[in-house]
Structure 1
Amino acid sequence: MGKKKISITDIAKELNVSITTVSFILNNKAKNRISDEVIKKVQDYVKKVGYQPNQLAQGLRTGKSKIIVFMVEDISDAFFSSIARLMEGKAYDNGYKLIFCSTENDKDKARDLIRLFKDRQVDGYIITPPADFEQEIHELLEEDFPVVLFDRYFEELDVSHVIINNQESAFNSVKNLVEGGFRNIGYVTLESNQSQMKDRLSGYEKAIDLYDLPKSIFKVSFKDFKAHRSDELVETYLKENPQLDALFFATNYLAKSGLKVLKKKGVKIPEQIGVVSFDDSDVFELYTPTITSLSQPIESIADKLMEIMLKQLTNIKGRNKIIHAELPGSLIVRESSHK
């Protein structure tokens, strides 16, 4: 039979103090109300018996669950999971727990998740929103929930967000290929109107226009990618565009699809075709030849997201202060981008 869970009542009875006294101490409301001696006695006993409060019941009493939601496109993606892991530690150090979930860029699924988390009295939301999700974000703000958007934003919605300088980063990635001797640079991206993809496309076009080079843009739908059709689509694109001597991929998962195709076709990198990927991956450092990529500042992103969220959670005035943080990406130049 399992060990009986200890309650506040049990603690009060054991220490011969009132339930209210124990509640004040556990909820950090004992200062100037209860003596330091009693506070220490309760805290020592709680630590000794390993007492864990019922968070749901605690949330009903205080209106706070001490839980933050991290809603991303795909939590299994190394970029999102790495950030989640870093934020989890920072949240824990500040008395919060972090819940991760994936929306799969599905508006209906994201809406259902938010409805679920509202029922659980979650305190704040860090979200990489699907397309056309402005109304749902607006409703969260209207209900006075702390919200921080991440990786992408909505131009018409004034809400705090943390992104990287996608346009400048994409521009520098293409510039690196040009400096490496490539002149027919294809751009493989997602079929998306989301801000991060629009900004990366804009950076590609800006660099191509500056160097007066031919444009070649190929878009893969997220649906086709999830159906594992990106390999064959990229292969068709290359077959129809034999003039290309370099490829710039808008995401690391598109780059991985492209590398599989190039390997299958026996194309030599960088002798026959140069490659650069937006967003780094461990695979690129291990690949032969190594793959040049744009690295996003994962630690800085995690720190900034939690900094903004904690300001909103701990200070009601913090929710009215909108912060737009744009962090720099770093181009890691490897073997694939220079002939």
Structure 2
Amino acid sequence: MAKRASIRDIAEAMQVSISTISAVLNGKAAERRISDPLRDKILKYAKQINYQPNMLARGLRTGKSNIVCMLVEDISDPFFAAIAREMEKQMASIGYKIFYSSTENDLDIAQSLIQTYRDRQVDAYIIAPTPGLEKTIESLEAEQLPVVIFDRNLPKIETHNVLIDNLTGTLNATRQLVESGRKNIALVTLDSKQTQMMDRLKGYQDAIKNEKQKPIVLKLNYNRGVDDITPQLKDFFIKNASIDAILFTTNYLTASGLKALKNIGKSIPNDVAVIGYDDNTNFSLYTPTITAVSQPTKEIVVAIKNILQKLLTGKIKGKKETVLLPTTLIQRESS
């Protein structure tokens, strides 16, 4: 493999100092009073040999990598994938690149990834935290590294947060099912103590209590594929044959639930009304189309970028900032 060209190689070939080459390549030729002909000659030669800057070395010199890392549960999930796509655009607008990784909601994986990014001196962290990540985040903040938490928070520590009003999201979705005449409304959710899932459960419970209906709840373990949970869902729906509406608290639970309902011959919305969570393009392609609670992905990303930009430029000091954004219920044929 050919040796990677360095600033030293260019300096030797052009017979000028390394500092002159560095100034030109970093756009500081005018500041250093380097002549235009010499600047152009250096840039032409650098392009000719396909010079690529060593970003790690530049980061060591400047103390900045212009890289922000983002950790999410699963980058293939439609919600997190949409966040990642928009985040790339928003961070590029302020001169940063995004590196992202999946934690699989596993503490050990999350801690290992954060250490890897620390070793590479990334400038900031955007994290959808796993349970138990408090000490790691506190250590980042102790080093005065910018951190923004999103999707769910860690109540035991004070952080900058961008969150969704999940409680109102499921409250309104359940009310919509009640208003359409449904009497036996079930919730299919995850067996999770994370704040976003607890809020979605509470919103449903509050609406059901207000309407004096009986709660019907199925909690499933995280990290199960569609095929793994479909039998459990079928069994739950068969044992609770009076169910006439179902609210699912994630998009992948919705997909599994639709498969299970089809397998037992239930018609949507005639037999059972359905509302999903985390709207995505697939929901509008089903027959019938699926009503969903939509999270505002662009607004989430813009809020994260705005906080990070203030942190990176030293414009936030003292009290932590929390942004709470509303959901939208997108009405379609399934309810």
TM-score by structure 2 length? 0.91
5 Å-filtered alignment, 1:98-177, equals: 98-177=98-177
Tell me the residue number matched to 1:311: 310
- For each residue in 1:271-294, what CA deviation from the matched residue of structure 2 results, as whole angstroms up to 9, or x when unmatched? 111100111122211111111001
**Aligned counterparts of 1:55 and 1:186: Cα–Cα separation in 2:** 53
Aligned residues: 334
Cα distance, 1:46 vs. partner?
7.7
**Separation of aligned partners in 2, 1:275 and 1:96:** 41
**Contact 2:29–2:39 under 8 Å retained in 1:** no
Match in the other structure for 1:250: 249
Name 2:325's counterpart in structure 1.
Answer: 327
Partner of 1:180: 180
Counterpart CA distance in 2 for 1:203 and 1:83 is 24
2:94 aligned residue: 94
CA contact (8 A) 1:311 1:319 kept: no
**8 A Cα contact 1:30 1:39, kept in partner:** no
Match of 1:64 in 2: 64
Deviation at 1:45, TM superposition (A): 3.9
Quote the residue 1:239 is aligned against.
238
Counterpart in the other structure of 2:19: 20
2:249, 2:46 → 1: CA distance? 50
1:210-258: per-residue Cα shift (whole Å, max 9, x none)?
A: 22211111100104x2484221111121122122110000001001110
- Secondary structure of 1:163's match? strand
Instruction: Single out whichever of 327-336 and 4-13 deviates more from structure 2.
Output: 4-13
- C-alpha displacement at 1:18, in angstroms? 3.3
Name the residue aligned to 1:298: 297
1:70–1:243 CA distance, 2 compared to 1 (3 A): same
CA contact (8 A) 2:227 2:256 kept: no
Superimposed CA distance per residue, residues 262-310 of structure 1 (whole angstroms, 9 cap, x where no aligned partner) = 0001101111111001111222111111110011111222222222223
Quote the residue 1:288 is aligned against: 287
Residue in structure 2 matched with residue 79 of structure 1 by the alignment: 79
The CA deviation at 1:120 is 1.4
Q: Which stretch has the larger CA shift, 89-98 or 157-166?
A: 89-98
Partner of 2:210: 210
Distance 1:40 1:321, change over 3 A: farther
Task: Give the equivalent residue in structure 2 for 1:264.
Answer: 263
Distance between the aligned counterparts of 1:130 and 1:227, measured in 2?
A: 22
Unaligned stretches of 5+ residues in structure 1? none
Residues 154, 30 of structure 1: alpha-carbon distance in 2 compared, 3 angstrom cutoff:
farther
Task: Please give the alpha-carbon distance, in whole angstroms, between the structure 1 residues aligned to 2:192 and 2:310.
Answer: 32
The alpha-carbon deviation at position 206 of structure 1 amounts to 1.6
Percent of matched pairs sharing the same residue: 44
Structure 1 counterpart of 2:322, one-letter code: H
Deviations for 1:178-223, whole angstroms, at most 9, x for unmatched residues?
A: 1221121101100111110111111111211222211111100104
Q: Tell whether the 8 Å contact from 1:22 to 1:42 is kept in structure 2 after alignment.
A: no
Would you say the 8 A contact 2:226–2:252 is kept in 1? no
* Preserved contact between residue 184 and residue 245 of structure 1 (Cα < 8 Å): yes
Structure 2 stretches lacking a partner, 5+ long: none
Structure 1 CA distance, aligned partners of 2:38 and 2:330? 53
**Contact 2:24 2:43 (C-alpha < 8 Å) held by counterparts:** no
Shift of 1:172: 1.1
How far apart are residue 47 of structure 1 and its match? 7.9
Structure 1 range deviating more: 263-272 or 201-210: 201-210
Stretch of structure 1 that moved more, 17-26 or 71-80? 17-26
Query: Quick one: structure 1 residues 259 and 24, their matched pair in 2 at CA, closer, same or farther if it must change by over 3 Å?
Result: same
1:91-118 Cα deviation digits (max 9, x unpaired): 2343322111100000011111111111
Note closer, same or farther for the CA distance 1:42–1:161 as it changes in structure 2 (3 Å cut): farther
Q: Deviations over 1:52-93 (max 9, x none)?
A: 211111122222222111110001111111211121123234
Are the structure 2 counterparts of residues 35 and 212 from structure 1 closer, same or farther at C-alpha, using a change threshold of 3 Å?
Answer: farther
How much does 1:154 deviate? 1.3
Q: Are the aligned partners of 2:24 and 2:39 in contact in 1 as well (CA < 8 Å)? A: no
Question: For structure 1, which segment, 258-267 or 230-239, has the greater mean C-alpha deviation from structure 2 after superposition?
Answer: 230-239
AA matched with 1:83: I
Which one-letter code corresponds to 1:65 in the other structure?
S
Shift of 1:128: 0.6
State the SS of the aligned residue for 1:336: coil
Sort the Cα spacing of 1:330 and 1:116 in 2 relative to 1 into closer, same or farther, 3 A: same
Do the aligned partners of 1:169 and 1:200 also contact (CA within 8 Å) in 2?
yes
